[in-house]
Chains A and B, each alone.
Chain A
């Protein structure tokens, strides 16, 4: 029974004590019964069953009055529970109260009184009594701080002295205030100031837990209710979020998954929509870290909701990875987003948003390398691993997406992007069909008409082309593009008649040509004079020929006249029969040489006439360009450079780029020109110039040039490398060094430009492979994909093939031996990133087509793989094949 009493099993102990006392009735059994009754009354008091406790106490008072006389504390406690404090504090007004008795009463107040308003209202003390004043002030302050009023004045509590039995309450009020102010250290300090036996100490365990301290204490129902009502739920979640962010930054798989589990547990009480959004973001961040989806779903306690918000987030994340493969996968996810967005009523199918999204997807697909598109059919994607058994429905084609975009949003921007893509496809008349769609959808725009005009002209459908031109002139006759198109069309027609020897038809075309508003004064007159000169030369009318030659020279100068006449004679395929106006380059001032060449190239560029620049005085022209005092603007130099590239005069183009960069006004375009002028083996400098040109063009917001550079890079570099920008220091280093390197590289050498190291370092910083990340000082753990390294080694093995090692040494020699047209095709293919095996196969075919010579004997390329030895369907044209009409444009 003593053990039962000690173990707070008072009910059973009392029943047993009663039975025992009935049977034996001894002094010991009575003492045991009294103790059992006391324990029972204490337990009932603790359970706030005051009526039952008082009943038992009354029974005890009747049956064992001697024993009950010492139970004053129990009686007082019951008074406290009833709110009857007058009897407890009343003796404090007795002037004869002993110090011990006062101490006992005050201790009782400190240890048992929890009803401050009742204490403030006791009638046995006068209103001005310090205990009543302190209780009243504390009751108000406690009410205020728990309701949100944290004023310092309220917390001063001057009514409560340090010696007051209510002083622990003052510490409690301040602790609560500090808790709400997030002053956790101060809060802990005030909690420590509360004596353990004081009533306010009952809040210490709960408040300690609310401050975030882990404890093993089992909380009562009231404590649990307090923690839930006033506790800081966000603390654990915020802590978990901070932990997982650190794990994401460190790219550690296991800590990330642990963090996901912690967040899933800590966010249980969170608002459902906010919790779901958090889960979706975490899932997407894990996808970006290449953590398998099953593990993430398991850690999250289930997959996140796959709605439009999730798919948009996921698509953006995968897209921002920047690799070609990820871009392809992002397109699939964007497609899934589209379906979900239409289902969730974010937008309607065929609406503006649908058009904008489809255009974005189309442009992504258009930038994808062909091999990536093929790989997507077999590879596992996020969607195919979604756990819903969903199969990858295949990558939509760019054409389908452009079509959908333009149906949903028939804007000029959408059609322009579609037409630009269709032009590059070179599939029949796909671009013409797009232009026709554009023309039908937006009648007032001239861009589709200009395309159709040019396309018809290329097919020798001159009548149709003129019809389009007339329509374009009706819409906007003053538009420079329309004027230029008219001049090009008329010149093309005239050139065709010259080629056919129908010189009698030329004057009418010249008459029309003279009506075109020219950009530079004298251009149209010079063209007319050149055409007249050509007609007179073909007709062998010497006097007329001399007259027109004089007029031509007078209008644009000797150098330009020589070049324009040469260009016209070549286009009309009369070059060998016609003697063009003579030029004594050696005795012509250098500045005049440059100015004349620029003038001719600008004129040729305007009317689509290819100006020949590989002639006997190219050396003099290069020498003139290298002279410091030059009065040619950037646009003229660019026209000269482009013409030089078109005519395979790479050294001249290189010199033009040097002269242009020294102007310092259009470095992006001159770097791009230089990149294309390099010989094929000058890999590092070409990469450097392209990267710097792209970065400068991006900074200058030159989207047209950026697009051209990206188009050129798309076959060779991954999208991540395209998306990342070079730092300003690297760009400046490239420009400065290229500016100094004025001599065209003619002999393959091992030395690299000084900026090569910076360029490699910049590329490594963008690369996500373990080796490059380690080079950048990033910690790499075992989790990083070991297979990736193996695949790299495999790639390296391919390059170690003896046949490929042989290639660079012989390539320059072989290229030099090829006809210019074939050489250009091969160089372009290499620059565009074509498979080296295919390129060499092509070289082999080109060499075989040549007349037996040194090159064909020196080099025979043996394809490495049988599959690659299939004959190519598209044969390389014969070296002396005359240019077709369309090549003018």
Chain B
């Protein structure tokens, strides 16, 4: 994960002066260590004598709960190893009306990539198909149509590189092949049917051969044609030609 702005937090190895409203610090006193505990577990004083105790950089600022306990905020900050984007106290949360965060509904968690790629891709394709439907008869139709073709091609390319996602690539390839002869005339009814089949595909736990077979027969039912083994003769779209294998 890309790092946020790191900062520092102070640790009072410095002598401190304080009072009711006074919280200043004098210069840091030289640190020394006294250790205790059972003999076998005791910290050995000289082992890290080259490193001042607690002198570490941490992800913190006065408004952050630091990840470590550090010696001196100012000294570390001047050291050049850290960037404090916003030093000093941050304004405290406004006491706004209390609206508690809701617990999200139960979800099936998948730690595999394929279901997520499938979900994201289906959502994107469905969005473009919806735009395509609305744009029909208008000048932007061909632009959206090309975008849809390009998205299908990109999705195929992304899915085909990994063994885990290859069955999804097959499903996308089927969809490309089914759509190819219909681009010039895709009635709303067919678009709605494809949309529903994609939703069904997205909801499947695994993309196994029976699921792919059903997806194929469902597409046949919606588009009313079967895949042709003959190479297309009219389509000159380069991207799609890549997938006629």
- Are A and B physically bound partners? no
- B residues near A, CB below 8 A? none
- A residues near B, CB below 8 A? none
